[in-house]
Homo-oligomer: A and B are copies of this chain.
């Protein structure tokens, strides 16, 4: 069941080639032929040999990208405490991925879009799971009075969509300041989630010292 060393190496090689092709040429154009050529393989047969099918390869590509994203984002999020700080960290670190791993991100965006919604959605499922968990966190924060009384699901969805949009923009326009955009987007949602009573009495914002 375990993979041979060369087998793993080959798979990795192909996955990387796929990531680059998808990032460069777009998901629709990412045929086995292109990927094979990019990977320096002489035939597409190689890819079919190592991957059960296109879905399989795609799954691996997504897994790789998610691995990279998680490795970047998780520590940054967990370094913070409290829902608002963590939301901010989530948004910022996610946007910053565009600078840290542009190829992977570009490929991810392409896949997200090109996949056709029906696709087994192995990724969509993962994404949905994350969002469901986030929704739960939001509700908890609301119960604790740290967030206002808005619709948690809409917030989570909006955050996700906004991040994606900013990511796309940042990936496309090299003149955009990634870090600044990340901060701005985090600020934006920070303003959106704070309880509005915030300014009804003399009290401190989260993170403020007494």
Chain A residues engaging chain B, CB cutoff 8 angstroms: 25-29, 81-82, 84-85, 110, 112-118, 148, 150-151, 153-155, 157-166, 168-169, 172, 176, 180-181, 184-185, 187-192, 194, 196, 198-201, 203, 206-207
CB atoms of A25 and B154 under 8 A apart: no
Assembly of this chain: how many copies?
A: 4
Q: How distant is the Cα of A198 from the Cα of B202 in the complex, in angstroms?
A: 10
Contacts of A115 in B (CB 8 A): 28
CB atoms of B192 and A189 under 8 A apart: yes
CB distance from A134 to the nearest CB of B (A): 13
Contacts of A191 in B (CB 8 A): 148, 191-192, 194, 196
Q: Known: A25-B118, A157-B169. Contact between A150 and B184, CB under 8 A?
A: yes
A154, A194, A200, A207 interface centre (most CB from chain B within 10 Å): A154
Q: Known: A116-B25, A194-B206. Contact between A161 and B165, CB under 8 A?
A: yes
CB atoms of A29 and B207 under 8 A apart: no
CB atoms of A172 and B82 under 8 A apart: no
CB distance from A59 to the nearest CB of B (A): 17
A152 to chain B: closest residue by CB:
B184
**A-B residue pairs in contact (CB < 8 Å), sample of 16:** A28-B28, A28-B114, A82-B206, A84-B206, A85-B207, A148-B191, A150-B184, A153-B169, A154-B166, A157-B162, A158-B166, A161-B162, A162-B162, A162-B165, A190-B206, A191-B191
Contacts of A161 in B (CB 8 A): 161-166, 168
Q: How distant is the Cα of A118 from the Cα of B28 in the complex, in angstroms?
A: 10
Contacts of A164 in B (CB 8 A): 161, 165
CB atoms of A207 and B82 under 8 A apart: yes
CB atoms of A157 and B165 under 8 A apart: yes
5 tightest Cβ-Cβ pairs between the two chains A and B: A199-B199, A161-B165, A26-B116, A113-B113, A158-B162
A117 to chain B: closest residue by CB:
B26
Contacts of A155 in B (CB 8 A): 184, 188
A81 to chain B: closest residue by CB:
B207
